[in-house]
Structures are given as structure tokens and as C-alpha cells.
Amino acid sequence: MILYFSGCGNSEHIANGLAKLTEDTLSKIDPLEARPTINIKQNEALGIVCPVYAWAVPRIVDEYVKRIQSDNKPEYCYLACTCGDNVGRTPERFAKTLSKKGWRLDAAFSFILPETYINLPGFSLDTQESEKRKKELAEERLPHVVKAIKERKKIIDVERGKMPWFNTYVTNALFYGLLITDKKFHVSDACVKCGICEKVCPLKNITVVEGRPQWNGNCTNCMACYHHCPQNAIHFGKATIGKGQYYYDK
Ligand SMILES: Cc1cc2nc3c(=O)[nH]c(=O)nc-3n(C[C@H](O)[C@H](O)[C@H](O)COP(=O)(O)O)c2cc1C
Ligand code: SF4
Ligand code: SF4
């Protein structure tokens, strides 16, 4: 069984690839579900697929996993996380979440894919060339990860980057405390009132009022609304202006 969360399609793409190659079932995480229940069969593997936010599993995914009700614990549990660059100590931090449930993280894999976070000065999307290269490399990596999963290997195979501990525990806390907000989202006159932003928000945080989006304070900055707007009419302060859009086109 594979559970996945994705804002801009990178993790969804990897989850689809893993499900196809491992012939496993795929289920989308609804972060608003109060009591998610899963039925893990004996000997079944559980895969969690999601992006990395500030060098950790997104808090909404972490909280979801904490709430999961299940009769059995998975025999083999792995994390496949997607990132723009690196993941720090994401596996170790997530392993703690699992261990509090009595579950064990047996393996973790990272996939480097195009960047989606551009809400700060100095942060930008990948060039077309880098986007293509990252996608090709991730595609090449998939069968190796699948082999490890099928063999039930106990392995941490991730790109950690510099200062992994600091980023996962210190920068992450600062990031959530200071930067995750929807107060800076605004919409320009280019909006054509299509409602796509409302539909793609995984937290149902957007209400379209008189054709225009309003943000309601429960945001994880996944950037799905920004990147999917057909008019590029949504912006985050001034930081996103002129930076373009990206989502993994199926
Ligand atoms: C809020 C936020 C925080 C992010 N933090 C990191 C990070 O710490 N390290 C990294 O390499 N990429 C980071 N990224 C980039 C995403 O992890 C990467 O683009 C991911 O593949 C997006 O997955 P998705 O398309 O399934 O949403 C971040 C993106 C967002 C939106
Ligand atoms: S997706 Fe863009 S164009 Fe459509 S309603 Fe939202 S802001 Fe307006
Ligand atoms: S409001 Fe936009 S950035 Fe915030 S959670 Fe919803 S889609 Fe993601």
C-alpha cells in the first residue's frame, strides 16, 4: 500500500511510478481526514510518498500519519520523498514519528525533482534544462528504488545536503514559525474566475468569493494554487513576481 501527498505533482508522479512497478495500491492522503483508517495485510509493505518541506516530511503529512488507525503494523515501511535539492535528516525525524506508533522506518529514498518553493528572494524555479535533467535522473532512479523495496532492503538512500541536522531541526522550526503563511497571497486582475485554485488546494483553504480566491488561514505553502493558476494571477507578496510556474504535467 502506498499513501501519497503532493502539492505540485512531483510526488504524485513518483508515487504512480512506484505503484506501477511494485504492483502496489495507491491512495491519496487527505490531510483533513480526522481518523484515517488503513487495512494493512500481513506481510504487506507500506510506502509513504511526499515532498520535503524545510528538510522534513510536511507537518500535515506527519500529523496524518500520527492519526492513522490500523489493526496491523506494516512489516516493511519506507519513505520516498521528493525534493528540489536535499532532505537533511528527514528520514530520522520521520522514523521518530513512526516509532511513537510502534512502527519502524525500514528504508528511505529521495528523488530530486524541480523546485516548487519560490516564496523568498533568491529562490527560483529550475531552468528548463535543469527541470528536464532532474526528471530524467529521477526516472532512471525509479527501478533501483523499486528493486530495493521488492528486496525489502533496510537502507537510507537520500541526498542529505550540508548541515542536515541543523536544517531538519533548527531551520525547519524557524521556517514553520516565520514563513508559512497565506497572508501574503493576493490575486491580480488577470484572474478569470475559473476556480482551479480552489479545487487544487489540498487543505480546502481557498474560497472563491464573487469569482475571486480568498485564503482562509490554513495553508501549508504547498504552492499548488500559485503554480496551477492558468493566468499566473496569484502571487505571494512580491517574491513570486516574474518567477514563472511549474507543476509536473501528467
Ligand atoms: C514549503 C516548501 C518547502 C520546501 N522545502 C524544501 C527543502 O527543504 N529541500 C528541498 O530540497 N526542497 C524543498 N522544497 C521543494 C520541494 O520539496 C520539491 O519541489 C518537491 O518535489 C515538490 O513536490 P510536489 O510537487 O509533490 O509538491 C520545498 C517546497 C515547498 C513548497
Ligand atoms: S486559478 Fe487563477 S484565474 Fe482561476 S480563479 Fe484562481 S486566481 Fe483566478
Ligand atoms: S492555499 Fe495554496 S499554498 Fe496554501 S495549502 Fe492551499 S494550495 Fe497550498
Q: Are residues 155 and 189 in the same domain?
A: no
Which atom of ligand 3 is least distant from the CA of 222?
8
Of the pLDDT bands very low, low, confident and very high (cuts 50, 70, 90), residue 35 is: very high
Is pLDDT of 250 > 80?
no
Q: Does residue 46 lie in a domain region?
A: yes
Residue with the nearest Cα to atom 2 of ligand 1?
Answer: 53
pLDDT for residue 233 = 98
Asked whether residue 121 falls in the same domain as residue 200, the answer is no
Ligand 3 centre and the CA of 40: distance in Å?
31
Taking CA atoms only, the protein residue closest to ligand 1 atom 18 is 83
Atom of ligand 3 nearest to the CA of 224: 7
In a domain, 245, yes or no: no
pLDDT value at residue 39: 93
The residue whose CA has the least distance to atom 4 of ligand 2 is 194
**Predicted confidence (pLDDT) at residue 79 exceeds the cutoff of 90:** yes
| CATH number of 161's domain | 3.40.50
The domain that holds 199 is classified in CATH as 3.30.70.20
Q: Cα angle at 189 between 185 and 193, to 5 degrees?
A: 85
- Banded model confidence at residue 42, pLDDT cuts 50, 70, 90: confident
Model-level pTM? 0.98
User: If you average pLDDT over residues 154-161, what whole number do you get?
Assistant: 98
Asked, for residue 243, whether it belongs to a domain, the answer is no
114 and 206 share a domain? no
Tell me, using a 6 A CB cutoff, whether residue 5 lines ligand 1: no
- pLDDT at 134 exceeding the cut of 90: yes
Give the integer Cα–Cα distance in Å for 129 and 152: 35
In a domain, 31, yes or no: yes
> Is a pLDDT exceeding 80 seen at residue 184?
yes
- Which bound ligand lies closest to the C-alpha atom of 119? 1
User: Measured between alpha carbons, how far is 183 from 219 in angstroms, rounded to an integer?
Assistant: 9
As for ligand 2, residues whose beta carbon falls within 6 Å of it are 187, 191-197, 208, 213, 229-231, 233-234
Q: Which atom of ligand 2 is nearest to the CA of 225?
A: 1
Give the list of residues 6+ apart from residue 198 with CB closer than 8 angstroms, or none. 206, 207, 208, 213
| Residues 155, 34 within the same domain | yes
The pLDDT of residue 124 is 97
Residue 221 Cβ inside 6 Å of ligand 1? The answer reads: yes
Residue 207, in any domain of the structure: yes
Sign of the dihedral through C-alpha 243, 245, 248, 250: negative
Picking from 151, 177, 203, the residue at the C-terminal end of a domain is 177
Average pLDDT over residues 23-45: 96
What is the number of the ligand 1 atom nearest to the C-alpha of 50?
Answer: 26
Same domain, 191 and 172: no
Same domain for 171 and 113, yes or no, is: yes
Ligand nearest to the CA of 183: 3
Q: How does pLDDT run across 121-133, given as a tens digit for each residue?
A: 999 999 999 999 9
Counted domains in the chain: 2
Q: Which of 97, 54, 102 has its CA nearest to residue 79?
A: 97
Question: What is the extent of the structural domain holding 192?
Answer: 185-236
CA of 237 to the centre of ligand 3 (A): 14
* Structure confidence by residue, pLDDT tens digits, 65-75: 999 999 999 99
